[in-house]
Amino acid sequence: MFDLGKKELKILKALNTPGKIQDFLNQLPNNREEDGDSFLSPMSVLEKKFCHCTEGAILAALALRLQGEPPLVMDLMANKHDFDHVVTLFKRYGKWGAISKTNHSVLRYREPIYSSIHELAISYFHEYFDKQGRKNLRSYSLPVNLKRFDKLGWMTSKNDIYYIPEYLAEVKHYPLLSHKQIRNLRRADAIEIEVGEIVEWK
């Protein structure tokens, strides 16, 4: 299927629910990019057994595709004080949910209970703060179907797939806040910041 190897296909086909996909991503250490920026393909993630959020989101999208679902991802864009985050989207009973690879205690899995993409995106807002307590999430993209990259071989390549995150950064984003709302944001409490420092992989 999709010219995947038997070993990789067996692993991914076993991930037949969003929950199983999330559990699998949680077991993978965070890609610390010690050799510089990387955007590992799904096949490279399975080989190296680590990934960061974008790499995990793309792997999750492939796993969903093997179950007959569209491979959808969404980019969450931050201001200059923080990094973007990418999640995989899925739908159950008409509601949206998200699979999310992160090393932190926040920005994690979302149950399929959200009526719109905007509603799902804004559910990440209060968790999206830095060590100074600044709330940094500003906008989101609509679902991006990774089928658009099939001709580039994103599913089977072992080369870095920079073209996907580059596209996600450039695609139209929709604001979550008005300028007035941004000016009046309160910083996260000290206990929230402390909890946010908890990591899954040291």
Whether pTM exceeds 0.85: yes
Residue 91 lies in a domain: yes
Residues 56 and 86: their CA atoms lie apart, in Å, by 9
Q: Quick one: pLDDT at residue 75?
A: 98
Q: Which residue has the tokens 């420092």?
A: 197
Q: What number of other Cβ atoms are within 10 A of residue 186's Cβ? A: 7
Q: Quick one: pLDDT at residue 198?
A: 94
Q: Quick one: pLDDT at residue 64?
A: 98
Let me know: does 77 contact 174? Beta carbons within 8 Å: no
Q: Quick one: pLDDT at residue 176?
A: 98
Residue 44 lies in a domain: yes
Residue 149 lies in a domain: yes
Residues 69 and 62: their CA atoms lie apart, in Å, by 9
Nearest in space to 89 (alpha carbons), one of 123, 67, 117, 128: 117
- Provide DSSP, the chain: -TT--HHHHHHHHT--SHHHHHHHHHTSPB---TTS-----HHHHHHHT-B-HHHHHHHHHHHHHHTT---EEEEEEE-TTS--EEEEEEEETTEEEEE---SBSSS--EEEEESSHHHHHHTTGGG-B-TT--B-EEEEEPPEEGGGGGGGTTTT--S--THHHHHHHHS-EEESS-HHHHHTPPPPPHHHHHHHT-BS--
Residue 202 lies in a domain: no
Residue 201 lies in a domain: no
Q: Quick one: pLDDT at residue 81?
A: 97
Residues 159 and 42: their CA atoms lie apart, in Å, by 10
Range of the domain at 155: 6-196
Q: Quick one: pLDDT at residue 33?
A: 87
Report the number of distinct structural domains present in the chain.
1
Q: Which residue has the tokens 């993209």?
A: 141
Per-residue pLDDT of the chain (202 residues; tens, 9 = 90+): 789 999 999 999 999 999 999 999 999 999 988 878 899 999 999 999 999 999 999 999 999 999 999 999 999 999 999 999 999 999 999 999 999 999 999 999 999 999 999 999 999 999 999 999 999 999 999 999 999 999 999 999 999 999 999 999 999 999 999 999 999 999 999 999 999 999 999 8
Q: Quick one: pLDDT at residue 35?
A: 79
Q: Quick one: pLDDT at residue 120?
A: 98
Q: What is the CATH number of the domain that holds 20?
A: 3.10.620
Q: Quick one: pLDDT at residue 89?
A: 99
Residue 43 lies in a domain: yes
Residues 199 and 202: their CA atoms lie apart, in Å, by 6
